Amino acid sequence: MKFTELLAGAWAKNDSLLCVGLDPDPAKFPPHLKDKPDRIYRFCTAIVDATADLVCAFKPQIAYFAARRAEAELEAIIHHIHEFHPGIPVILDAKRGDIGPTAEQYAIEAFERYKADAVTVNPYMGRDSLEPWLAYADKGVILLCRTSNPGGSDLQALEVGASRTALFERVAEKVAKEWNTTGQCGLVVGATFPQELARVRAIVGDMPLLVPGIGAQGGDISATVKAGQTAAGTGLIINSSRAILYAGQGEDFAQAARGAALETRDTINRYRKET
């Protein structure tokens, strides 16, 4: 099944635009897990099992696994999601950006080794850097556009060309009009810039937007939903990581995470209905 089909199914089945980011930091784990050799796997799968009926996607961040030599655990966690929660897409947050044979190897890593349904990619080397990813026509390719960090403005807000269009808008136009040859592309647009989010939505139509920046980064849920949802009330993959993962520090951490995810999902839905 194509990424966009999986995503649409999860939006509908779970009535959710919430994505839970899997950024496992063992220093923040509950005490009973910190010394376990399989602590990353146990922590992440417990979070997944507790929240899978509340989300439209899971988003593991590859750096948190690679830094701790936990790539095998990442493979196992993604396998666990696919086996026990089929229909919930996995977005590998890797932000890869290269060309030619190197990009081909990154695509093999994401889609064949890890079996991710989608991956985040840096588009700033141009169209040829995307072609190895687009060769996997059923997989999602989610390109950085207007990121949630303050420093993103250093380059992404620069005005370019005779029309003095912001660079992030030019990226959105390129993806929507020229690069989305498989129909499986999406964009990363931060919740911390709702006006820019609205501008991107106007450019790309119903294309999925992965939206980081709520929760610990302070993005406003109401503004995010109003700026970014489609006419059908979908179109968004609103990510929250730390605020859900570390909602509890006891042995009931997974239930605490479920409570935080439920509250976030329901808050998002309240604003969907008000708009």
The tens digit of pLDDT for each residue in 96-131 reads: 999 989 999 999 999 999 999 999 999 989 999 999
Residue 101 exposed, middle or buried by CB count within 10 Å (0-12, 13-18, 19+): exposed
Please state, in angstroms and rounded to a whole number, the distance separating the CA atoms of residues 166 and 114: 35
Examine the pLDDT at 217 and tell me if it is beyond 90: no
Sorted by sequence, the CB contacts under 8 Å of residue 12 that are 6+ apart come out as: none
Mean pLDDT of the chain: 94
Backbone angles phi, psi at 230, to 5 degrees: -85, 175
CA proximity to 196, closest of 237, 239, 147: 147
Which of the given ranges, 97-101, 146-150, 271-275, has the highest pLDDT on average?
97-101
Catalytic residue among 28, 95, 174, 226: 95
Q: For residues 234-243, give the mean pLDDT.
A: 96
Domain CATH for 116? 3.20.20.70
| Chain center to CA of 115 | 15
Q: Which pLDDT score, from 0 to 100, does residue 192 have?
A: 86
Sign of CA dihedral 211, 59, 2, 133: positive
95 catalytic, yes or no? yes
- SS3 for 25? coil
Which band of pLDDT confidence, cut at 50, 70 and 90, is reported for residue 173?
very high
Q: Give the three-state DSSP class for 189.
A: strand
Least confident residue range of 68-77, 85-94, 146-155: 146-155
The total of structural domains in the chain comes to: 1
What's the domain range around 200? 3-274
Q: Say what the pLDDT of residue 216 is.
A: 61
Q: Any residues with CB less than 8 A from the CB of 34 and at least 6 apart, and which?
A: 26
